[in-house]
Copies of this chain bind each other. A is one copy, B any other.
Amino acid sequence: MAETFIIGLDYGSESARGVLINTASGQQIASHTHAYRHGIMTQALPGGSPLPRGWALQNAADYIEAATEILSQLGDGREIEGIGLGFTASSPMPTTANGTPLSQLFAEDPHAYVKLWKHGAAQKYADDINAHGGSYLKNFGGKVSGEWLLAKAVQIAKEAPGTWDATDRFIESGDWLVWQLSGVESRSLGFAAYKAQYSEADGYPKDVLDGLEDRLSLPHPVGTCAGYLTDDWRLRTGIKGKAAIAVSVIDSHVVLPAVGAVDDGCLVGALGTSAAYLLLSEGFHPLPTGIEGVAYNGSMRDLWCYESGQASFGDMLAWFIKNFPRAATIDESFRLYNTEAAALVPGENRLVALDWWNGNRVPLADSRLSGIIMGLSMDTTAVGIYRALMESLCFGARSIVDLFEAGKIAVNRMLMTSGLAQNNPLLVQIMSDVMNRPIDVPEIANPTAVGAAIHGAVAGGVVSSYEEGAARFGAKSYAHFVPDENNVAIYETLYQLYREMSQSVRARASMHILSEMPAAEHHSTVTSQVQ
């Protein structure tokens, strides 16, 4: 019997990555990365037309080029059982009824292109939606983001009504790529629920924009087989076999089965520049105040998945290193600070910080808030401050876990992924001490692409469940951190001080005043004269 494989595709902001996994051994055989030809377009269209400030577009043709390259490299001549993909979200595009991107027809129209997740120019339409918001906002804390599909649809309709008229389908790029690969428009419940506020009970929101629902289509739970790789793509890539195509998944969610997060109570934190937390739950609980969103069947099958996060995380430590370097390189400064911070005992720095360097995302959703360091003295050291920043990030994470628990949503296991979880064991140890819980850090290469491959395995029937997929293709080992009981009580005390700072209405009012200070218009002068 011939060897068979699954492929996972991870479409990120700058490039796409694919992995090839042997279905029998579960081993990653190969991976391949392809950068998008046009990258993220913020200044101009491919033809040179300039873009307004705040725009961020992509070219759908780049996705096809990447898929052709990656699938050929990994799949040529191989028996592929299933293909899954994770994709940035919300990154929607307008197409014709047969899926032709409008950018292919109207190359000089900026509204014809993919509006990448970070496209910020639709925020005012989100504000309008929120001002008149309906019951479809109840699972999203009463508001949509300007990064989401609804606001981007309204932006096209208001700013380019002709383009909107020419739009038969308004579709997430991940769903569009599945359509291209399989020949079937089969949307993902993940994109629909989290980014277009679809629910199985009520469908898409009715009153946001006339004609919007006609341009969408009903979505399917994750793991659904959208169809099979088309003959055209088989010719183009040399792929053989069944090649079932799974519906697409939001990139930050697709990692879950790869790290073993497939059941009730799993909390997965992605500790990157910012931090994102996903919590899986079998039962539904109303969204706790401040938690950002929840949907069913959009991340893992038969589970609710709650979304939350911290606006600052690794970027706060990078801010410190950049402003207060200790060595010629960033890496060496990080190394020195981490080594010395690890030699401090909790509480020894006699500091407590509030981690709002980018404002607060959960629970206040207020970008005008800012950070605090308290306890500064002549004995305070740079490394003491650095450690206080790390600790404050962990306090911020704990305050999110506290919100979940206050909402009766159990957290049974904690998994931390991404750069800082991999590279900064001190940070994870502090988080374990602050949480007073064990934390697992999965040891696996290309976890996002592997997660996508597991979705492909489920869609292709290679495995009968995500649990089986996780066991066969996911992380095989974990770095295991356990709380140090000497530290738990001290961090409990410090966390209460953090809570007080974070709950001070007066401090927030002061931060608002600081955020509204006039920008520099003139330069102050020192006026001194001898009498």
Question: Which residues on the B side are within 8 Å of A441 (C-beta)?
Answer: 528
Please pick, from B428, B443, B484, the residue contacting A530 in the complex, using a CB distance under 8 A.
B443
Please pick, from B486, B514, B518, B520, the residue contacting A352 in the complex, using a CB distance under 8 A.
B514
Question: Residue A376 at the B interface, CB < 8 A?
Answer: yes
B523 touching A345, Cβ below 8 Å: yes
Question: Residue A319 at the B interface, CB < 8 A?
Answer: yes
With contacts A350-B517, A352-B510, A513-B497 known, is A524 near B487, CB below 8 A?
yes
A371 to B359, CA, bound (A): 22
Question: Residue A315 at the B interface, CB < 8 A?
Answer: yes
A433 to B530, CA, bound (A): 18
A376 touching B373, Cβ below 8 Å: yes
Instruction: Give chain A's interface secondary structure class.
Output: mixed
Question: Which residues on the B side are within 8 Å of A514 (C-beta)?
Answer: 350-352, 374-375, 497
Question: Residue A480 at the B interface, CB < 8 A?
Answer: yes
Question: Residue A333 at the B interface, CB < 8 A?
Answer: no
Question: Which residues on the B side are within 8 Å of A54 (C-beta)?
Answer: none
Question: Residue A106 at the B interface, CB < 8 A?
Answer: no
Scan A491-523; emit 1 where CB is below 8 A from any B CB, else 0: 001000100110010110011011101111111
Which A455-511 residues have C-beta < 8 A from chain B?
477-482, 484, 486-487, 490, 493, 497, 500-501, 504, 506-507, 510-511
Question: Which residues on the B side are within 8 Å of A357 (C-beta)?
Answer: 376-378, 380
B374 touching A511, Cβ below 8 Å: yes
A490 touching B513, Cβ below 8 Å: no
Question: Residue A348 at the B interface, CB < 8 A?
Answer: yes
CB distance from A366 to the nearest CB of B (A): 13
Which A370-390 residues have C-beta < 8 A from chain B?
370-378, 380-382
Which residue in chain B gives the minimum CB-CB distance to A528?
B479
Please pick, from B319, B348, B515, the residue contacting A519 in the complex, using a CB distance under 8 A.
B348
B510 touching A493, Cβ below 8 Å: no
Which residues of A pack against B, CB within 8 Å? 312, 315-316, 319, 323-324, 342-348, 350-352, 356-359, 370-378, 380-382, 425-426, 428-429, 440-441, 443, 477-482, 484, 486-487, 490, 493, 497, 500-501, 504, 506-507, 510-511, 513-515, 517-531
Known contacts A319-B380, A348-B517, A357-B377, then 5 further A-B pairs from the complex at CB < 8 Å, ordered by chain A residue = A350-B515, A375-B510, A428-B528, A440-B531, A478-B530
Chosen A-B contacts, 13 in total, with CB atoms closer than 8 Å, are: A343-B523, A345-B521, A347-B517, A348-B520, A350-B515, A370-B376, A372-B374, A372-B376, A429-B528, A440-B531, A490-B517, A497-B513, A500-B506
